[in-house]
């Protein structure tokens, strides 16, 4: 799959203070690295100290500015601590990228409700908590608030009830924050990649709440995290509102209002063809 190349370094991001959640692997790690490469002061957040420390050490070895705070985004106090530690070290927050998230793969009929609670806790409440404590700084700096979402936030996906519900909730939350701060210069962007090479499918929860353990897709043929990261910076630079990175996603967002039944059938057919799909 071919992707556009973008300018690797943009001076508008130099010395900007950026928080990235879910930064220990995949899209989050790539976003953190991209900001750092563009001269930003990056605070990485995730639960794995081992992974975060290795990434930060690598960035510092390249004379890039980065730090980390161990953060479980499902815990409000830890999200507050993340913002406080960032301000303590760097003085403010210019950009918050809410990337932390998990997925699921199970029919709602079969799923333990704790699976849906977990999805909402990580994906939705993690976004809410981090935004709550970073927002005063973002508004003061006329900065950017970003949420990494999915086509699942525009149209429900079979076998992903908790995931879709959490993404729909994030969209409603982000759009409301945008409107409430309409006259304050805050930039709010929802970015929806396609299927991206990542560990998220390995960690996706199945019906009983355990992790799936393997990906049903050929990860080598998926969108790269680096491509998504470059689009995050480009979207911020161009003050994008919503950015959907695949034609499939764009068609979904457009045509689900015109021919929703056709979109329903398309996703049913597509997901039913995945190896081990719960959709029959």
Active site residues: 163
Q: How far apart are CA 54 and CA 25, in angstroms?
A: 11
Helix H, strand E, coil C: the string for 181-211 is: CCCCCCEEEEEECCCECCCCCCCCECCCCCE
**CA end-to-end span of the chain, whole Å?**
29
CA torsion through residues 118, 123, 129, 132, sign: negative
Numbers of helices and strands, H then E, in the chain: 9, 7
Token readout for 280 is 């029959």
CB 225 within 8 Å of CB 29: yes
Helices (H), the chain: 26-37, 49-61, 76-90, 113-119, 126-140, 161-180, 225-237, 247-255, 260-272
Joined tokens for residue 117: 């609670």
Q: Which contacts qualify for 185-188: CB closer than 8 Å, 24 or more apart?
A: 185/139, 185/142, 186/138, 186/139, 186/142, 186/143, 186/144, 186/145, 187/142, 187/143, 187/144, 187/145, 187/236, 187/239, 188/144, 188/145, 188/146, 188/241
Residue 267, both tokens:
């996703």
- What 8-state DSSP symbol labels residue 124? I
């Amino acid at each position: 799959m071919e992707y556009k190349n973008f300018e690797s370094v943009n001076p508008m991001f130099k010395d900007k203070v950026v928080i990235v959640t879910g930064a220990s692997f995949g899209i989050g790690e790539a976003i953190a690295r991209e900001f750092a490469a563009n001269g930003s002061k990056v605070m990485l957040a995730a639960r794995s100290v081992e992974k975060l420390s290795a990434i930060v050490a690598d960035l510092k070895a390249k004379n890039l500015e980065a730090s980390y705070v161990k953060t479980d985004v499902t815990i409000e106090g830890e999200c507050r601590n993340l913002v406080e530690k960032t301000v303590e070290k760097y003085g403010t927050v210019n950009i918050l990228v809410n990337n932390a998230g998990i997925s699921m793969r199970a029919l709602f009929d079969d799923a333990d409700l704790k699976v849906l609670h977990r999805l909402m806790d990580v994906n939705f409440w993690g976004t809410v908590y981090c935004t709550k404590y970073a927002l005063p700084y973002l508004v003061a700096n006329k900065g950017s608030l970003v949420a990494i979402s999915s086509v699942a936030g525009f149209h429900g996906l079979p076998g992903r009830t908790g995931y879709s519900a959490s993404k729909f909730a994030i969209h409603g939350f982000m759009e409301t924050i945008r409107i409430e701060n309409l006259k304050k210069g805050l930039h709010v962007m929802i970015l929806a990649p396609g299927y991206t090479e990542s560990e998220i499918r390995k960690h996706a929860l199945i019906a009983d709440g355990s992790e799936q353990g393997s990906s049903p897709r050929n990860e080598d043929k998926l969108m790269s995290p680096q491509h998504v990261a470059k689009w995050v910076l480009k979207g911020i630079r161009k003050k994008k509102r919503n950015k959907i990175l695949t034609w499939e996603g764009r068609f979904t967002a457009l045509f689900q209002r015109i021919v929703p039944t056709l979109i329903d059938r398309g996703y049913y057919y597509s997901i039913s063809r995945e190896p081990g799909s719960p959709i029959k």
